[in-house]
Amino acid sequence: MRPVVAFIGSPTYALAKYVATLLSPLSNSPYNVKDSMELSRDINGKKLPEGFILASLDVISLFTNIPVRFALEEVERRFHEIEGHTKIEKKDFMRMLDLCLTTGYFSYNDEIYLQLDGVAMGSPISPIIADVVMQRLLDMTLGMSSLRICCVRKYVDDLLVAVHRDDVDAMLDLVNSFHDNLKFTHETGGGRRCTDLPDSAIE
């Protein structure tokens, strides 16, 4: 189940919205594109090296599979990127973030549930937490591998990777080994100048 929770008016909504603004420096990633139009401008007309293809990778249900403890550890590791934007002490900030990520209560059919892992779609803090986790995944897998990869672009849970055709399976195995919660599916484009993307086709 992928709960879409209406957080407006909830007890932690204002806090989550505030914390999300403080986390914004962590979303400055070289992999990110803001939409399909930016991606189109980025790759339009460019030729891939011989033997390379474009592969589209998609995380299965990213938000509801985000490993919360890992996300907290990653934000704590990168707190030095945040501290210049707030006077809040690190320990207090992490307590605030923990509260936002571990109190995902919602109702369904008049029953109250607590989301034990993952982040709910609808929370103002969820997109940036997902982005932080995906950045770390890319840094620790594709960014450090010996695979023949010449380009990686990311939009939320969608990745476009220019990879040598002989390394596609190894790349998929690598990203799928990062965390038990996070699993990818993939599609590959056959041509050197065309791929199908979410919301658009680029040639």
Q: How many CB atoms lie within 10 A of CB 113?
A: 13
Least confident of 7-16, 56-65, 166-175: 7-16
pTM: 0.85
Kindly state the tokens that stand for 94: 């992490």
Answer whether 182's CB lies under 8 Å from 62's CB.
Answer: yes
pLDDT-derived band at 1, boundaries 50, 70, 90: low
pLDDT in tens, 121-155: 888 999 999 999 999 999 999 888 899 999 899 98
148, with CB counted inside 10 A (0-12, 13-18, 19+), is middle
Rounded Cα gap, residues 10 and 81, in angstroms: 29
Residue 183: helix, strand or coil by DSSP? coil
Rounded Cα gap, residues 94 and 101, in angstroms: 10
Mean pLDDT of 69-93: 97
pLDDT-derived band at 41, boundaries 50, 70, 90: confident
Mean pLDDT of 184-199: 60
